[in-house]
Structure 1
Amino acid sequence: MNKATYTVTFWGVRGSLPVPGSQTLHFGGNTPCIQIQIGSRLLIIDAGSGLYNLGQKLVANGSPLRGDILISHTHWDHIQGFPFFAPAFIPANRFILYGQSKLNRTFHDLMKRQMMPPHFPVPLHEMGAQIDFQEIDPGDVLDLGDEITIKTARTNHPDECLAFRIEHGGRSACYVTDTEHFHQVDPELTRLVAGADLVIYDSNYTDDEYAGRIGTPKIGWGHSTWQEGLKLVQAAGAKRLILFHHAIHRSDDELKQIEAMAQDILPNCTAAWEGMEITL
């Protein structure tokens, strides 16, 4: 499977809460979900509300399906789409979900609890597809077969969160969202994204918002800024930066302004929008 097509598609790019409306029509209001297609292999990163639309497309393409789903962490905005993921209700399909245990609860249990009464009427075990769970920890390296390797690292976020590097055929995309920067560039994340073709980064705030020069200070809230994303990519020698996990209050016009400012510093930088597709 060497040098298979490697495509990254964005289905949800917003953080915290879905925000549909006239101010988010261009970039989109769904919470995090990314599809990585490497040849015939389907990988999904995070199961936010964007997973619903991806699921509809996959069902339309037919079954059976096999997919690997990487969950960075189980905060609601990263798992809220899973109960509405139509392919998971089709018995011919099989999915393996990867994530961390937390608070003495298995990853399987954490995913199951959001689908239990009184929160949701359909329990996970009734979804229909074969769904398996694999626990992973920061620093783990996963061999998914077909020369696909997943490397992991810890991010700086409440309740812990995983960053991922997906490698195949000499190409790599990194998913580094829900992380709060330090005073200096995080050496662990720098190693993870070193030389990567694509870095998807938590750009929830601006530096002024984070520091409290605009609004309430966001220090300790577990998120970063687009300016810090630039620093990470430049320090690591990565090739392209994707601004991601847009704040719920951020309008399309504001995001276009941020994108333009970022491109003045790093031309190969893009603010993620729903439907954006990148081939490595």
Structure 2
Amino acid sequence: MGVGDELLIFDLGTGARPLGEHLVAQAKAVQASIFLSHYHYDHLQGLPFFTPIFMPQNAFTFYGSPRNGQCLKEILSGQMTQPYFPVTAEGVFRAQLDYHDVHAGERVTVGSASISTLELNHPGGNLGYRVECDGRSVVYATDIEQSEEGDARFFAFAKGADLLIYDSMYTEDEYCGRHGPARTGWGHSTWQAAVRAANESQAKTLVLFHHDPARDDAGMTRLLRQVRKHRPEAIAAREHMTLHVK
């Protein structure tokens, strides 16, 4: 996410590798703030393959919540150790790195952007982020499961967002177990819950996110068609998609 001259990166899944190659191709030093929602593999496994982090001219500031008695730096280092990975972060990362532990409810300032945080309903914990800059706002809510108590807090957190990026992994039938095993308690949401979140928070544009990896493009087209009966402006996130918030 570009905010003026600042680059904000949210999570480091497999997309971190092509992002890194794109940044290196610009042939200039990279400076960015990286906000991690949580540390499940699908949100972190791109870190060891993020090329700019191996180059000393680059600088990155990491933000994320301490979990299970470990600070952010310990958590990131811990996922690059034997027998899981051949080299350590301390041994191969050459960029200038800073680490900032962030707790739910805290606010971070990066350049002209203000980033606020909220604990979301997900096994092991997960931070949602709201970015505000120049009168515009984007809410990033990956890995959230609907819950009566948590929903009200989230609607207030996302109030009036220009862009709401929201977990919409399942259909209601999939979530409840009418099609396949029940997914309740797995930490993910439905497109119906995404629509409700957008409506209740009065978000301007809903972006469906964290798709079920078993759902192909045709399935996503069908799902989006259903969502647009309720939210005509809704967008299904795709790889390499660029959105401009005006």
Counterpart of 1:258? 223
Seq. identity, %: 39
Distance in 1, Cα, partners of 2:27 & 2:4: 17
2:140 counterpart of 1:141: no
Tell me the TM-score normalised to structure 2 length. Answer: 0.97
Counterpart of 1:130? 96
Following TM superposition, where does structure 1 have runs of at least 4 consecutive aligned residues deviating by more than 3 angstroms? none
**CA RMSD after TM alignment:** 1.0
2:190 to 199, 214, 225: 225
Superposed counterparts of 1:1-280, under 5 Å: 36-125=1-90, 126-145=92-111, 147-183=112-148, 186-280=151-245
Q: Which amino acid aligns with 1:130?
A: Q
Structure 1, unpaired ranges of 5+: 1-35
Distance in 2, Cα, partners of 1:51 & 1:191: 31
Distance in 1, Cα, partners of 2:85 & 2:52: 18
Q: Which amino acid aligns with 2:104?
A: P
Q: Which amino acid aligns with 2:138?
A: A
Kept in 2: contact 1:185–1:232 (CA 8 A): no
Structure 2, unpaired ranges of 5+: none
What is the CA distance between 1:39 and its match in structure 2? 2.1
Q: Deviations over 1:216-235 (max 9, x none)?
A: 11111111011100001100
Distance in 1, Cα, partners of 2:230 & 2:180: 25
Kept in 1: contact 2:6–2:110 (CA 8 A): no
Tell me the TM-score normalised to structure 1 length. Answer: 0.85
Q: Deviations over 1:110-153 (max 9, x none)?
A: 110111122112211221101111000111111112x2100110
Query: Relative contact order (alpha carbons < 8 A, sep ≥ 6): 1 or 2 greater?
Result: 1
How many corresponding residue pairs?
Answer: 244
SS in 2 for 1:112: helix
Q: Which amino acid aligns with 1:113?
A: G
Distance in 2, Cα, partners of 1:244 & 1:143: 25
Distance in 1, Cα, partners of 2:61 & 2:200: 34
Kept in 1: contact 2:120–2:150 (CA 8 A): no
